[in-house]
Amino acid sequence: MSEENKFEFLQLLENDARLTADQLAVMLDKEVGDIKRQMKLYEQNGVILGYKTLIDWDKTDREYVTALIELKVAPQRDRGFDRVAEKIFNYPEVKSLYLMSGSFDLAVFIEGRTMKEVAYFVAQKLATIDSIVSTATHFVLRKYKDKGVVYGPAETDERGQL
């Protein structure tokens, strides 16, 4: 597969993980076997890490809150931020973790059932980590767009019959 094809292949899957190897093969003018091999290879070397579904939980009865927590961290000798990052990302409550430039160091996205639960997690689990200097918790009030997808009413086909 050419580099350009590989890029297109990954972009297609990133946009729609449900595309089957058969469908991808037709669309990319490749053999199904080639597609399957390439997919396996990407899974093995960690280019493809998973296939997930985008769910707008606000449209369900599930109770949950999401928070962005800004952490200022004192980097550790030799290991920088990696050690503390590892400690944080191992908590299942942590949905995303980024090392940032700017006025704070780590951006942590946490999901919990209630605000209290999140606040408790920050106070008990995060703030107590040695190298964490300060925390600032921001609760998400509404998700407008995630992973390139707008969270709103389902789209209807309004096109005219002409």
Q: Interface residues with another protein (CB under 8 A)?
A: 8, 12, 16, 18-19, 23, 26-29, 157, 159-162
| DSSP-assigned letters across all residues of 122-149 | IIIIITTSTTEEEEEEEE-----EETTE
Task: Report the residue number, 80 or 152, with the smaller CB distance to another protein.
Answer: 152
Task: Report the residue number, 142 or 159, with the smaller CB distance to another protein.
Answer: 159
Distance of CA 82 to the CA centre of its chain: 19
Q: How far is the CB of 26 from another protein (least distance, A)?
A: 4
Q: How far is the CB of 140 from another protein (least distance, A)?
A: 24
Strands 106-112 and 65-73: antiparallel
Q: How far is the CB of 129 from another protein (least distance, A)?
A: 42
Kindly give, in sequence order, each residue whose CB lies less than 8 Å from that of residue 54, ignoring residues fewer than 6 positions away: 146, 147, 149
Q: How far is the CB of 87 from another protein (least distance, A)?
A: 41
CA-based nearest residue to 66, from 4, 23, 115: 115
Task: Report the residue number, 13 or 97, with the smaller CB distance to another protein.
Answer: 13
Task: Report the residue number, 92 or 153, with the smaller CB distance to another protein.
Answer: 153
C-alpha distance from residue 69 to each of 7, 32, 97, 132 (Å): 33, 44, 10, 12
Q: How far is the CB of 15 from another protein (least distance, A)?
A: 10
Task: Report the residue number, 30 or 87, with the smaller CB distance to another protein.
Answer: 30
The structure tokens listed for 26 are 């037709």
